[in-house]
Amino acid sequence: MRMDAPRELVTREFAALLRAEDFAGTVELFAPPLRAAVSVEALRLAWAAEVAGRGGIAAFGEPVSEPGEADLVRVRIPVTCVNGGFTVVTSVGGDGLLHGLRLDPDGGAGWQPPGYADPERFTEREVLLGTGPLAVPGTLSLPAGPGPWPAAVLLSGGGAFDRDESSGPNKPLKDLAWGLASRQVAVLRFDKATFVHPERLPPDFTMADEYLPHALAAVRLLRQQPEVAPDRIHLVGHSMGGKVAPRIAAADPSIAGLVLLAADAEPMHEAAVRVARHLAALAPGPSTNEALAALTRQAALVASADLTPDTPSELLPLGFSAAYWLDLRAYDPVSTAAALACPMLILQGGRDYQVTVADDLTRWQAALAARPDVAIRIHQDADHLFFPGSGPATAAEYAQPGHVEPAVVEEITTWLARR
């Protein structure tokens, strides 16, 4: 598709600003809703994380355009790094502004079903969770046969994820959904509001708002299905989805149990600095050092008594609002989990540098390891997505096609069957 001259000019200016790492200039090209959602520092940090994890940028490719929704033209800019690469995806409107932005790992392949999934053993249908402008679509996977089956609500990690937790060629939650449904577990997964309705989110949007309404609606919908055992509905949360799962279970005591996959327990502002420091060490340079210093200052503000509901989001990590950070700061996932009566399975990847054994799992172990209804396991060769590998894990690894380890799917299935 050939763009008109004004849009092509904007696209080339956008690519040049990214190449120069002029993030303030880049944000000036954003349409107002995108500018409100993505601050200069949030963009700087996201860029530094992608680049550092891949050993630095080697080259920018030519922008490729294709028709988008309404009056938008979708543009993809390939970025080649020393180790792998990623693609910058945006949309240019007739107003000459950018109306979307994401950094996609460039795996060069689409998702393929894992060997442990058998689509002949289950069916899927679309559902809608919640009401009003923030209702989200989802997929219900039901095993063949009358049941009643145990069930799981899948909760994706932090960020604007779809129901499959898609990232490049990988869909770890779809791996889990198809693997569990092939083994007689009903599964419900859903798009997050941050993915489908980013322009509708209120300024005081919090982690509780991000997860609780739709997760609780998913539990209610499962309870209404004749193929589902109403007293055997579980939460299976990955990363931040695991962090928030105890909060959801506290709101609905009928939830039968929790499966926490790489659930972070370290305060998120501290974890963000730790991960940024890890990535900056892989590709040190002025930009990554500047991003790390800015994030460190922002995290210190989150931890201080100076954080108030009126603190501007541009002064805070990742561009999240003060309300979001105040809500996170007041929530302790470990103590919330310890107060629950339901059983739990906690799984951790030994090669995970985002949520780690030392920084996160030890906190779960200290509070829960003595409980006979809590099982804690480490999959030593697994990374943050529970994909198998060897050696130190890097961000570039996520761009390679992979699947959740079969052993993880089997362990979750066995645990759910015992409940």
Cβ-based burial of 374 (10 A; exposed 0-12, middle 13-18, buried ≥19): buried
The whole-number pLDDT of residue 66 equals 80
Q: How far is the C-alpha of 327 from the C-alpha of 335, rounded, in Å?
A: 15
Q: How far is the C-alpha of 113 from the C-alpha of 131, rounded, in Å?
A: 32
What is the block-wise mean pLDDT of the chain (419 residues), using blocks of 10 residues?
73 91 91 75 78 81 78 86 84 86 68 95 97 95 95 94 88 98 98 88 93 98 97 98 98 97 97 89 76 91 97 89 96 98 98 96 97 97 96 80 96 91
End-to-end CA distance of the chain: 54
Contact 194, 229 (CB under 8 A): no
Contact 45, 359 (CB under 8 A): no
Q: How far is the C-alpha of 240 from the C-alpha of 49, rounded, in Å?
A: 18
The whole-number pLDDT of residue 414 equals 97
The whole-number pLDDT of residue 309 equals 96
Contact 140, 186 (CB under 8 A): yes
Which domains can be identified in the chain, with CATH numbers? 5-105 (3.10.450.590), 119-262+332-418 (3.40.50.1820)
Distance of CA 345 to the CA centre of its chain: 20
The dihedrals phi and psi of 198, each to the nearest 5 degrees, come to -60, -30
> What residues have CB less than 8 Å from 260, skipping those under 6 apart?
237, 242, 245, 337, 344, 345, 346, 347, 364
Q: How far is the C-alpha of 62 from the C-alpha of 88, rounded, in Å?
A: 11
Report the run of H or E that residue 82 belongs to, with start and end.
none
Give the CA dihedral 248, 253, 259, 263, nearest 10 degrees: 30
- What is the DSSP-derived secondary structure letter of residue 388? B
Tokens at 164, concatenated: 């499959």
In the structure, how many helices (H) and strands (E) does the chain have? 14, 13
Contact 48, 276 (CB under 8 A): yes
The whole-number pLDDT of residue 366 equals 98
The whole-number pLDDT of residue 297 equals 95
